Amino acid sequence: MMPTADPTTFMRRAIELSRLHMEAGAGGPFGAVVVKDGRILAEGWNRVTSGHDPTAHAEVVAIREACVRLGTFELKGCEIFTSCEPCPMCLAAIYWARLDRIWYANGQADAAAIQFDDAWLYREVALPLADRSLPLVQLLRDEALTVFQAWEAKVDKVRY
């Protein structure tokens, strides 16, 4: 694809990916592209049901592909265009990948209207650990801390 400064070009591609792969049965109606220097670097679409992977959301798939293509674990200097406002998992992945900007088309309410309601998850993660519906049980912290201490002392670690 030729470089372009028009964000609508990239959003239209994300929307096109959402439609094409939804109609093909790959998963839900979600598409995403990662853009660097006015070019699409990576594309992703929802592969949850076809890939038997609950983490294979369009944004995560596109981020993984972009990182492989660049040979890095961070995407500074890149933007993501997604056909829908990211869910909490995708939003966290975007933050971890250090993308510069998120562009989105459909919003949370639009997704909820077709039974993709992420609002409950946004509410859940804001609760104190003891109040969440999924129990979190801490076990063997002292043993696990020894690994953290070794990491902190490691001289050749790559921070992220």
Helix (H, G, I), strand (E, B) or coil at 80: strand
Gap between the Cα atoms of 122 and 102, Å rounded: 18
- Asked if 59 is an active-site residue, the reply is yes
Burial class, 14, CB count within 10 angstroms (exposed 0-12 / middle 13-18 / buried 19+):
buried
Gap between the Cα atoms of 24 and 3, Å rounded: 28
From the candidates 16, 23, 43, 59, give the one annotated as an active-site residue. 59
Active site residues: 59
